[in-house]
Amino acid sequence: MSTLTSAQNAATDPVDGTTGTDPVPASRPGPPVLREGAFGNARALLCRECGHEVALGPHYACPECFGPLEVAYDFAAVTREEIAAGPANIWRYKALLPVPTDIEQSPNTEPGFTRLLRADNLGRELGIERLWVKDDSTNPTNSFKDRVVACALSAARELGAKVFACPSTGNLANAVAAAGARAGMRTVVFIPSNLEKPKQVNSAVYTDRLVAVDGNYDDVNRLASEIAGEEDGWAFVNVNVRPFYAEGSKTLGYEIAEQLGWRLPQQVVIPVASGSQLTKVDKAFRELIALGLVEDTPYKVFGAQATGCSPVSAAYKTGTDAIRPVKPDTIAKSLAIGNPADGIYVLDICRRSGGAVEDISDEEVREGILLLARTEGIFTETAGGTTVGVLKKLVETGQLDPALETVVINTGMGLKTLDAVADRVGPAATIAPSYDAFVASGVL
């Protein structure tokens, strides 16, 4: 078992079968000694199933029940003014994240505080009175993954990791490769071999250690878990430092509330892959309420999936809590996680809030991409096309109230998934270089 992946990770490790009480082998060094304040106001890692607390460190599964861990905090008082005085990136919320107070001094990609765009044209098209797009395509590597990776990078540094790594469906690989280069860390990223070529290139430019694996994302993730258990000093952002990594998605929720004038939206539509982003936006809203930074007003949360990989939507529609893993078959590869780790929590949040989980076909995904581009000038990737398409379907089926203020999250840039719409767009006409030919073309 690796030194970064502690023996406290689980009662029985899924890789090598050791128990939580087994000693670390004598040939391996012990866990790193953390500096004071390494994780800011974070107190411990808390099991989301049984409530057991684990010391802050490279642990991702509860030693009592195997449940997933998340970061718990002892927050100090924080004011809107203190946040507003911070940098125009996610570190303005550092008091609410598991990062040290001097985080800005460590080289990172400084993601976040992306625009919240009033989408009146799209709203009119769909019949929604007040619609906003939270546009994360303008992050350093053009997706929301820069947020979570920045938090994971901080944890990797504090834990003494020597290798920064991830399994990925594309956007995460881009973000990890770029962040690792910026931090001067050895970086290795693992991707499915059938990943879109632009996403492969967008990773390989930052690192010469891009590994393509014959299999789907779940196969790649299993390989990463095995490596994390066998190799010393590896920080896999969404495996053995996942609790810290996941907290980065909270900043989407913080920013939405701040950019709305410190209030919560009445409805929010979020894409679902692993489900982590949706759960953390909800966590952010609840934290802001608890800290008195926003009024405790009701909000509905909606999840969006592509039909070719929709295990959470299927469970929602059948009224069950059992999420059955599926083999992904969709053009929305960044959402193609057939066994979503946070799926059960997505169901709980959407049901509890009065929202829903919906899915659409690949054809509707393509239509969603074009709809957002042609109404708001935002070229989104397939995940964003899924979210916009689901938004449209939610309105048409009466699941979303068009009279309530709504935010839809665009998680990435369309230049990464050009193939999705390449055969749907092109010149309206090919003409001779003359005015008469232009008039005859009927373009106007």
Domains of the chain: 116-142+249-420 (3.40.50.1100), 143-243 (3.40.50.1100)
Would you say 176 and 237 are in contact if contact means Cβ atoms under 8 Å apart?
yes
- For the chain, the distance separating the N- and C-terminal CA atoms, rounded to the nearest angstrom, is 67
User: What per-residue confidence (pLDDT) applies to 29?
Assistant: 55
DSSP-derived 3-state class of residue 409:
strand
Nearest to 267 by CA among 434, 405, 415: 405
Tokens for 98?
């598991």
Collect all residues with Cβ–Cβ distance below 8 Å to 272 and sequence separation of at least 6: 278, 303, 304, 305, 312, 313, 335, 340, 343, 346, 357
H helices present in 68-190, as ranges: 80-84, 120-126, 145-158, 171-183
User: What per-residue confidence (pLDDT) applies to 156?
Assistant: 98
Number of CB atoms found within 10 A of residue 362's CB: 19
Task: Tell me the C-alpha distance between 150 and 93, whole Å.
Answer: 13
Task: Tell me the C-alpha distance between 294 and 309, whole Å.
Answer: 35
Residues pairing with 409 in the sheet: 134
Task: Tell me the C-alpha distance between 123 and 180, whole Å.
Answer: 39
Give per-residue burial for 156-191: e unless 16+ CB within 10 Å, then b. bbbbbbebbbbbbbbbbbbbbbbbbbbbebebbbbb
Residues pairing with 270 in the sheet: 303
Nearest to 241 by CA among 111, 99, 89, 108: 99
Task: Tell me the C-alpha distance between 188 and 1, whole Å.
Answer: 19
Would you say 6 and 19 are in contact if contact means Cβ atoms under 8 Å apart?
no
Question: What single-letter amino acid sits at 70?
Answer: E
Would you say 409 and 269 are in contact if contact means Cβ atoms under 8 Å apart?
yes
DSSP-derived 3-state class of residue 342:
coil
| C-alpha 282 chain-centroid distance | 13
Q: Which single residue is written with the structure tokens 């001097």?
A: 102
- Print pLDDT tens along the chain (444 aa): 356 754 333 333 322 333 333 333 334 455 678 899 999 999 999 999 999 999 999 999 999 999 999 999 999 999 999 999 999 999 999 999 999 999 999 999 999 999 999 999 999 999 999 999 999 999 999 999 999 999 999 999 999 999 999 999 889 999 999 999 999 999 999 999 998 888 899 999 999 999 999 999 889 999 999 999 999 999 999 999 999 999 999 999 999 999 999 999 999 999 999 999 999 999 999 999 999 999 999 999 999 999 999 999 999 999 999 999 999 999 999 999 999 999 999 999 999 999 999 999 999 999 999 999 999 999 999 999 999 999 999 999 999 999 999 999 999 999 999 999 999 999 999 999 999 999 999 998
User: What per-residue confidence (pLDDT) applies to 312?
Assistant: 99
Task: Tell me the C-alpha distance between 335 and 272, whole Å.
Answer: 6
Q: Which single residue is written with the structure tokens 């107190």?
A: 43
Q: What angle do CA 251, 257, 262 make, to 5 degrees?
A: 130
Q: What is the DSSP letter of 335?
A: G
How many angstroms separate the Cα of 73 from the Cα of each of 43, 76, 99, 175, 273? 5, 9, 11, 26, 26
User: What per-residue confidence (pLDDT) applies to 15?
Assistant: 28
Collect all residues with Cβ–Cβ distance below 8 Å to 23 and sequence separation of at least 6: 7
User: What per-residue confidence (pLDDT) applies to 170?
Assistant: 87
Would you say 239 and 228 are in contact if contact means Cβ atoms under 8 Å apart?
yes
